Amino acid sequence: MAKSPEVKLAVFGRAGVGKSALVVRFLTRRFIWEYDPTLESTYRHQANVDDEVVTMEILDTAGQEDVQQKEGHMRWGDGFVIVYDITDRGSFEEVAPLRSLLEEVKKPKNVPLVLVGNKSDLDHARQVGTEEGERLAAEMACAFYECSACASEGGSVAEAFYELCREVRRR
């Protein structure tokens, strides 16, 4: 049997948007309330994506890196999750600059990417509309998911990672 393909995925976004919570939700189907926000971790995870076993290496960045560290992570990755928090407009405004940096680091390749608006359970505190997320994703030509790391099903969290794997494998 052929060796299962490996994809390197990096998760970007402002500190506090829920990157660690999303990664842990995806890997364990659990929600854990507090992580050290300065921590950067990598995880290995095997999953069946469209009848193919894929080994994912997931880098959960801290979100406080300087540009050089960011560029290093971007060179490392094959595919990227950019996360913002629907209750934090500033985190949404950081998406486009991250995307530009990615494009610059990866050029001339185009970059497998998914956009995630997290904390959809906090609708009462929402600052970024669903349509705004959709519009930005359309501009970036990538898939978009609104989700919550703490909602009990956590369905679209996994879907975002699987879709990114597909995107990487298509290239």
Residues that bind ligand GDP (CB under 6 A): 13, 15-21, 33-35, 37, 63, 118-119, 121-122, 148-150
**Residue with smaller CB distance to Mg ion, 11 or 128:** 11
**Residue with smaller CB distance to ligand GDP, 54 or 150:** 150
Shortest distance, position 102 Cβ to ligand GDP, whole Å: 17
CA–CA dist 115, 86 (Å, integer): 12
Shortest distance, position 146 Cβ to Mg ion, whole Å: 19
Shortest distance, position 169 Cβ to ligand GDP, whole Å: 26
Residues near Mg ion (CB under 5 A) are 19-20
Shortest distance, position 18 Cβ to ligand GDP, whole Å: 3
C-alpha torsion sign, points 155, 37, 58, 127: positive
Say if residues 27 and 149 touch (Cβ distance below 8 Å). Answer: no
CA–CA dist 97, 76 (Å, integer): 19
Q: Which two tokens stand for residue 109?
A: 């390749």
Q: Binding partner of residue 98 among Mg ion, ligand GDP, none, CB under 5 to 8 Å per kind?
A: none
Q: Binding partner of residue 73 among Mg ion, ligand GDP, none, CB under 5 to 8 Å per kind?
A: none
Shortest distance, position 36 Cβ to ligand GDP, whole Å: 8
Q: Binding partner of residue 87 among ligand GDP, Mg ion, none, CB under 5 to 8 Å per kind?
A: none
**Residue with smaller CB distance to ligand GDP, 20 or 79:** 20
Burial track 154-168 (b if 16+ CB lie within 10 A, e otherwise): bebbbebbbbbbbbb
Say if residues 99 and 28 touch (Cβ distance below 8 Å). Answer: no
Give whole-number Cα distances, 115 to 4, 12, 68, 145, 163, in Å. Answer: 26, 10, 22, 6, 11
